Amino acid sequence: MSDAWLHVVVSAIIALPVLCCFVLGVPSWFGARISERVVSTAVAWTFSLTTIAAAFALLALCLRGGAPIEVDLGVWFQVDHYEFRWRLLGDWLSLPFACFASLLTGLIAAFSRRYLHRELGFFRFYLLLALFGAGVQVVVLAGGLDLLFFGWELVGLTSALLIAFFHERPKPVEHGLRAFLTYRVCDIGLLAAAVYMHHFTGSAAFVVAAGESAQTFSGLVPPSVLMESLLVGGLLLWASMGKSAQAPLGGWLPRAMEGPTPSSAIFYGAISIHLGPYLLLRAAPILDVAPGVAASVAVVGGLTAVHATFVGRVQTDIKCVLAYASMTQVGLIFLEIGLGLRWLPLLHILGHAAVRSLEILRSPSLLQDYRHLEQAVGRQVVRSPFRFERLFPVALRPWFYRHALERGYFDTLLRDYLVGGFLRACRWLDRCDRWLTSVIVAGDQDQSKSDEVIR
Amino acid sequence: MIHSSSPAASDCIATIVDELAHYLPQQAPLHTFVHHNTLHAFEHLTFDAAVLAAGELYGAEPYQSEAAFAKHLTSGRILSTDIDSVLREEESRSCERDWPPLVGQSLRDYRRTRLCHLFEVPWGPALAWQLRETKVLSELHPMVDASRQRVLRDWADRRFGALEPTRRMPRMLQDLWRTLEQAAPVPDEAGTRLIRRRDQLLAAGAADIDSRTQPLLIRLCAAFLDQGVALWSMPDRDRGFLAAVRVLYGQVAPLPEAWARGLADELVRQQRGNCSAEDVIEYGLVQLGVERPNWRDYLQVSLLALPGWAGMMRQFELRPDRAPVEPRPARLLDMLAVQMTFEWLAARHELKKLRGAAASFSGLPEVQPARPIHKQQQWVYEAFIMAQIAAIDLEELEQPKCAAALMEEARSFDELCRRRLLHLAYERHLRVVLLDGIAAHASTSHQQPPPCRLQAVFCIDDRECSTRRHLEESYPQARTYGFAGFFGVAMAWQGLGEVRSRPLCPVNLTPQHYVTERALHAAEESAYLETRRRRGKRSLVFGNASREMARGGLITAFLGVFSVAAMVGYCLFPRFAGGARRAVAKRKLREPMTRLLIQRTGEQRTAEGLWIGYSVPEMADIVFDALQAMKLTESFSEIVLVVGHGSSSVNNPHGSAYDCGATGGGRGGPNARAFAAMANHTEVRVALLRRGIVVPESTWFVGCYHNTCDDSMVYYDEDLMPDERIANLEEAKRAMATACALESHERCRRFVSAPATADASATMRHAQHRSMDLGQPRPECGHATNAYAIVGRRERSRGLFLDRRAFLVSYDPDNDCSGEILARLLGAVVPVGAGINLEYYFSFVDPHVYGCGSKLPHNITGLHGVMDGHSSDLRTGLPWQMVEIHEPVRLLTIVECEIPILVAVMAGSAEVSRLVMNGWLHVVVLSPTSSEMHEFVDGSFRRYEPSSRVLPTVTSSAEFYQNQIASLGCAATSASFGSDGSVAANLTGEEAPR
């Protein structure tokens, strides 16, 4: 097959979902009401076609012996030495991921047609789902950090809006906002990393490193100086920690279960949560040259896995249990990446996404499942053969239990001390500012007016 | 003697809490969902008073919204005749108010006009904005009709002829507004309601203490009540909630949260002082500065801060036997003690931040109720618009007396009044449909169905209403009967391989008998159980592994991708995937043939003290009572089906709400099977003979189970059947299969997503699809169509299409001169039927307070309840998807008997008379000898005059409901009398003549 055709196919993986968003979004912007059947069919078919295109590209990749498919769609803008290039990249990392992500999105679209039937926000849900699907494909197929950032933001935005899907209640909105804030704070890492990459190496594109075989994943070209690698690697780790709910930032994940079940399944069981490891796999060459970063990734992942499995064991509602189970596995994936593995994390991502999203979809079956299991086993179900808590001395067990129940106190510490401290500092500065103003103003105005300023 | 007063006070707090607990939701853990009156605690009031009182207490809606009623008016669901009738009755009930005839029309006319013109009355700032920015004061209201517009224009022209034409109308309207404003009555100062300190603090600008304390309290309650979701359970929870919390939080290490710094010290203080929960609550009240006379109110608002959790705590306390897995030593007092401790600590903390260390709660301002001035403006607006719409002479309105009367009407005939009357009109419409239908049916149909070849006893459930009709239509030789779906067999049932027994009887009964089943061959049983156990262990290892770290890592990384196949199956081909799942589960697993251990020979009891099985006299009693109540005492057919029912769906936490209410949210198959086994017992038959019921030897009872979701049937103990009856059973099975297919066909007409087809096999497939689809929040209709209960002979309703609305109870008044049987039937039907009906009513009118909202964000917690998303209050009531097509009316119960008998029955049962007298359901008596009916209104019986005696007549029900998606009225179907059954039969494509 000619390269030109292949380029069309790879571009279609992004173009189809984007087109779908426009086709649905623009008429509704002008007040058109689109029926449930049309919306859901459009989204489900878009992602079916996307899946086919991705599978096709994957097949072509096999036939090419693994040589990455690069699609250059030209330059958007140019400033001095910097140019923003629409460059897509299909390699062993992106195409399986793209294929899988679009398959899941399509399945969720088909599923939600029945699940959300007659729901007021039906259209909104589908539009956000399509936007999310488009965002994911941009992240996955992006040929460099610049383009990836677009998709990354789109995924974060749709994620927050879907958590707040039931916006007539305050809690979902609050939790959506919390997720959004975590994303934004961590996105600084991605943006800064992109800027520094351009600054240090002149490019933030993903390429196959010289001397490597075509069987590895394309990645960033590490800067020549170790310190620079450490900086960029640290920033990328920061970025991926937010998106993948790693400790201590992961408090938003259980709270994200406010949305409708299918969106929870695809975002926090399957795709959105795994974008962090995906980014780190793209940054793998930097991890290779900067062992400090790799070690940090491993430590963050390992700690998160232990923390999440610890906390998850005391959770009493099914969605929280699954959220922490998800966090545990993503922590392990981080650990694997930190340890220098490449193919295993990819396999782990795909396998975990499939298992977890199905579990979340099935979560309302818990009561029936429990009854069946109990009948089959013939006695009251003891969930875990390994009683984790037996590791601790009896006297300390309540203390550890409380630690787990309070989720390691991370939320409180972040809220009351970090964010709270920041806010207190701002207020203090504000007071200083007012005082200073009053002092200056008092010089040429009468006293009563400056009192007003102070108040 | 500091403590001298405390015992009395503690007593007092325990009593207060006991009393207040009645106001908490009474919902049991989800696996035994039992429908009950949501406002059970208010049953001593009349319905109208109760909905208002409860609405006030819970902040809930008493009736449908005015906007909803406006839609019913336009759609013709409420007719003007309904409104007329309701207003007439209202007028006869209340004495005439001072309404000057000057205004040009009578009070009733005025109110009719108002009820037919439901405009929104804006409030406060919204009203001010409308007056300033819109054309309210310069143009006529859009609801004013053309003729009235002309009248008003003419009048404006006459009155303000001096002005130029464009300014006349605004001038008139502004004058009108001013006149009315001057006549406006002065609103009363709204009484201040006791509120929590949290609300006062919030209003004063402090942070919301609930946002700090509630998540912690919810976490603790959830951990305490958890039945097996968490892998690591709360330490020391068998010592009670308060003790467990003290162990966890009374340690040295304080919580990092600022408000909770004193928590450890406080808990240690309570521990040292050996404080009981009552002491702690009292201490909390004192700390919050609540004065003793206000304690009850304060505790009430505190309990209602998290009603779901408090209610569940109470349920575990009162009914430990209903715990899904294991009971807990739960006490509502313990929870309240913890809550009050948290609350006062947090409130003190916020107060200190807000007002300094020395501040006290008494210094906080009361929260302002709605400003009286806003109310006054609303009344003026109301009268202003009505003066335009209603045929009121504006000239007369300029007299202060008239304006005052109009304003007084605007004040007293407020929104709640209007909604109450509209609700009555809405109910009346449905009442007239049924009563006219019955009257017309009684006067027209004197047909006799063909001779009986099959008798079938069903549950009284409204879902079996259509199954019975379809059975009679497609197989007119059938006679059907309705009896509460536990068939009098109140037992604790433990199926083969089940871990524990569960009661299968109405909730107000406690079973005294234990029934289990055993395989015919012990070897088969052990092989079966062993295979199941092996597979169970495997699924325990694999099913849960993904939740754990190491095993989960291995499984997801190396085997995880395969679950993509399952995902594709569940999302795209649910029926196939569900079937495949069942096939895999049943592979190489031969279910052994079983028998019920129904007969007790000795005096064996279980460890809980239940009799194991029934003795022959007990069985004879059960069978005799049931047969006699249904008047199934003679001319038995060869086969008598006893049909229990239940419903199977997936991904449905509220699944048990779709099961049989008469078995306490269980599936009625075992009851039907037990009843049939009893009735076939030779010794029982001898006993029956002695008591006058001759069951011929040729008659065989067959227990069966009807799945109302996928409309499948299971027949029990067929192998015990005499050989010569097998052919009869096959015929009965065919008839039932046709009836079930048609039932699914009728049900599917209400689903937008079901195929609109005349082919019942396609709808049958659709029904199966629904029962196996993970993505289906509406597996079936449940009781959503319930509105009527008919207690009487089936002949009075046979061949009458009731749109699945009726609970049908078989009762023969000729058989019951003393009313004894009726008393027994009504004693069960009235509370159960009204419970189902009222739970649907309240979940519909306020899905957020009384119902549990949309199913989509539900999150199962602790195997006993659902929360909305992450860490919310437990949601009780029915989900919106379940009640969506419901018509919220009170149950209309028709009893076929003589009036004195019913009066005697009501006098004999406090529960029935309370519900009927207070208007929680409507009762109509149908004369056993004629079509005369008497409504029970305000304590007396009043003859009902049918408004129409014409009933649409169709051959089969399908002809009537085909292609209709909305609810329908009554119709007579002739197929039930065998005139032409082929139409119905052809729908299934099975019994086409060869």
Residues B73-95 pLDDT 10s = 999 999 999 999 999 998 887 76
Q: How far, CA to CA in Å, does B936 sit from each of B433, B802, B823?
A: 17, 22, 17
Lowest mean pLDDT among A419-428, B30-39, B436-445, B922-931: B436-445
Distance CA B563, CA B576 (A): 16
- Residue B2: pLDDT over 50: no
A412: chain B residues, CB-CB within 8 Å: 255-257
Nearest partner of B501 among B509, B490, B510, B492, judged by Cα: B492
Cis peptide, bond prior to residue B946, ω within 30 of zero: no
- Comparing C-alpha atoms, which of B11, B9, B23, B8 is closest to residue B300? B23
pLDDT of residue A450: 46
- B54 contacts B845 by C-beta, under 8 angstroms: no
Residue B366 carries which DSSP code? P
Tell me which chain A residue has its CA closest to the CA of residue B858: A364
Mutate which: B32, B575, B870, vs A, most A CBs within 10 A: B870
Contact A317 B229 (CB under 8 A): yes
Tell me how far the alpha carbon of residue A103 is from its chain's centroid: 18
d(CA A399, CA B395): 81
Pairing, β A82-90 against β A69-79:
antiparallel
Helices (H) and strands (E) in chain A, counts: 19, 4
Mean pLDDT of chain A: 91
The answer to whether A286 touches A232, Cβ cutoff 8 Å, is: yes
Shortest CA gap A172–chain B (Å): 8
**Segment B782-800 mean pLDDT:** 93
Count of CB pairs separated by less than 8 Å, A with B: 281
Tokens linked to A236: 């990328």
B502: three-class secondary structure by DSSP: strand
The model's pLDDT over B459-494, given as tens digits with 9 standing for 90+, comes to 999 999 999 999 999 999 999 999 999 999 999 999
Beta bridge mates, B701 = B640
Residue B981 confidence (pLDDT) = 43
pLDDT at position A214 is 59
pLDDT of B629 strictly over 90: yes
Residue B607 sits at φ, ψ, to 5 deg, of -60, -30
Taking the CA of residue B325 and the nearest CA in chain A, the distance in Å comes to 8
Half-sphere exposure of B780 (CA within 13 A, CB side): 32
Whether the per-residue pLDDT at B353 is higher than 60: the answer is: yes
List, in sequence order, every beta strand (DSSP E) within B406-464: 454-458
pLDDT of residue B993: 36
CB of B951 closer than 8 Å to CB of B463: no
pLDDT tens for each residue of A215-265: 678 899 999 999 999 999 999 999 999 999 998 999 999 999 999 999 999
pLDDT of B369 higher than 70 = no
CA distance linking residue B144 with residue A31, whole number of Å: 30
- DSSP one-letter code for B660: B
Rg (CA), chain A: 24
Q: Which of A103, A108, A416 sits opposite B256 (nearest CB)?
A: A416
- What mean pLDDT do residues A84-113 have? 94
Does the pLDDT of residue B192 top 80, yes or no? no
Which percentage of chain B shows pLDDT scores above 90?
68
Q: B811 or B162: whose pLDDT is higher?
A: B811
- Cβ-defined contact of A348 to B556 (cutoff 8 Å): yes
> Could you give the 3-state DSSP secondary structure of residue B337?
helix
The residue whose two tokens read 């990092």 is B256
User: Are B87 and B425 within 8 A, CB to CB?
Assistant: no
Q: Does the structure show a pLDDT above 90 at B261?
A: no
DSSP B848: T
Shortest CB distance from A413 goes to which of B256, B326, B570?
B256
Q: How far apart are CA B705 and CA B464, in angstroms?
A: 12
Contacts of A254 (CB under 8 A, 6+ apart): A315, A319, A320, A323, A324, A407, B870
Beta bridge mates, B943: B934
Ranked by mean pLDDT, the top range of A199-208, B185-194, B485-494 is: B485-494
How far CA A319 is from CA of A254, B560, B862, in Å, comes to 7, 20, 11
- Residue A22: strand, helix, or coil: helix
Residue B963: predicted pLDDT: 87
Asked whether the CA dihedral B541, B546, B548, B554 is positive or negative, the reply is: positive
Q: By mean pLDDT, which of A165-179, B34-48, B98-112, B140-154 is the weakest?
A: B98-112
* Residue B670, C-beta contacts closer than 8 angstroms, at least 6 positions apart: B491, B493, B495, B504, B515, B517, B596, B644
The answer, yes or no, to whether residue B337 has pLDDT greater than 80, is yes
Joined tokens for residue B221: 């309650």
CA B574, CA B566: separation in Å to the nearest integer? 10
Nearest residue to B858 via CA among A252, A363, A73: A363
C-alpha gyration radius of chain B: 32
Q: Using CB atoms within 10 A of its CB, is residue A207 exposed (0-12), middle (13-18) or buried (19+)?
A: middle
User: Has residue B5 got a pLDDT over 60?
Assistant: no
Which residues from chain A sit within 8 angstroms of residue B665, using beta carbons? Answer: none
Residue B936: strand pairing partners: B941
Give mean pLDDT, residues B353-378.
81
pTM of this prediction?
0.94
Handedness of CA B47, B50, B51, B52 (dihedral sign): positive
With b meaning 16 or more CB within 10 Å and e meaning fewer, what string describes B735-744?
A: bbbbbbbbbb
**pLDDT class of B360 with cuts at 50, 70, 90:** confident
If pLDDT is split at 50, 70 and 90, which confidence band does B884 have? very high
Is the pLDDT assigned to residue B815 strictly greater than 60?
yes
To the nearest whole Å, the CA of A250 is away from the closest chain B CA by 14
Burial (Cβ within 10 Å: 0-12, 13-18, ≥19) of residue B132: exposed
CB A6 within 8 A of CB A141: no
* Nearest-Cα residue of chain B relative to residue A116: B856
Name the DSSP letter for residue A178: H
Contacts of B810 (CB under 8 A, 6+ apart): B481, B482, B483, B629, B630, B631, B632, B792, B793, B794
Beta strands B454-458 and B874-875: pairing type?
A: unpaired
Subunit contact A316:B773, Cβ cutoff 8 A? no
Q: What is the pLDDT of residue B994?
A: 32
Domain residues of chain A, as ranges? 3-361, 367-405, 409-454
State the pLDDT at residue B765.
93
Burial B518-533 (b: 16+ CB within 10 A, else e): ebeeeeebeebbeebb
CB B475 within 8 A of CB B738: yes
Q: How far apart are CA A120 and CA B599, in angstroms?
A: 55
Model confidence at B12, pLDDT cuts 50, 70, 90, reads confident
Position B351 confidence tier, pLDDT thresholds 50, 70, 90: very high
Mean pLDDT throughout B934-948?
91
Record: contact B570-A104, CB cut-off 8 A: no
Confidence of residue B356 (pLDDT cuts 50, 70, 90): confident
| CA dihedral over B389, B392, B393, B398, signed as positive or negative | negative
Tell me the chain B residues in contact with residue A365 when contact means C-beta distances shorter than 8 Å: 650-652, 774
Query: What is the predicted pLDDT for the residue at B361?
Result: 87
Least CA distance to B495: which residue of chain A? A375
Triad A393, A398, A402: Cα angle to 5°: 130
Q: In angstroms, rounded to a whole number, what is the distance separating the alpha carbons of residues B650 and B658?
A: 12
Least trusted range by pLDDT, from A97-101, B191-195, B588-592, B733-737: B191-195
Tokens encoding B795: 């002949």
pLDDT of residue A447: 54
Asked if pLDDT for residue A80 goes beyond 60, the answer is yes
| Closest Cβ–Cβ partner in A258, A357, A379 for B499 | A379
Q: Is the pLDDT of residue B4 over 60?
A: no
Written as one letter, the residue type at B911 is E
Contact call for residues B562 and A349 (beta carbons, < 8 A):
no
Q: Tokens for B228?
A: 């097996």
A361/B540 CB distance under 8 A: no
Contacts of B31 in chain A (CB under 8 A): 367, 371
Q: Of the ranges B362-371, B674-683, B883-892, which one carries the lowest mean pLDDT score? A: B362-371
CB B376 within 8 A of CB B383: no
Six-digit token pair at A54? 């991705």
d(CA A130, CA A266): 12
Q: Residue B147: pLDDT band by 50, 70, 90 thresholds?
A: very high
For residues A37 and A59, is the Cβ–Cβ distance under 8 A?
no
Q: Please state, as a whole number, how many other Cβ atoms lie within 10 Å of the Cβ of residue B166.
A: 8
Question: B892-896 and B788-792 as β-strands: parallel, antiparallel, unpaired?
Answer: parallel
State yes or no: pLDDT of B980 exceeds 60. Answer: no
Would you state the pLDDT for residue A383? 61
Q: What is the pLDDT of residue B492?
A: 94
Residue A137: helix, strand or coil by DSSP? helix
Interface test with A, best of B556, B562, B965 (most A CBs within 10 A): B556
pLDDT at B104 over 80: no
| CA A282 – CA B528 distance, rounded (Å) | 53
Averaging pLDDT over each range in B19-23, B202-206, B289-293, which range is the top one? Answer: B19-23
- Say what the pLDDT of residue B185 is: 87
What are the CA-CA distances from residue A37 to residues A33, A134, A152 (Å)?
A: 12, 21, 29
Task: Give yes or no for a contact between B951 and B441, defined as CB atoms under 8 angstroms apart.
Answer: yes
The confidence score (pLDDT) of residue B99 equals 73
Q: With a cut of 90, say whether residue A67 has pLDDT above it.
A: no
Tell me whether residues A373 and B529 touch, CB distance under 8 A.
no
Residue A211: pLDDT band by 50, 70, 90 thresholds? low
Query: How far, CA to CA in Å, does A49 sit from each of A11, A45, A103, A406, B584?
Result: 12, 6, 9, 45, 32
> How many other CB atoms are found less than 10 A from the CB of residue B205?
8
Instruction: Tell me the mean pLDDT in the region B639-665.
Output: 93
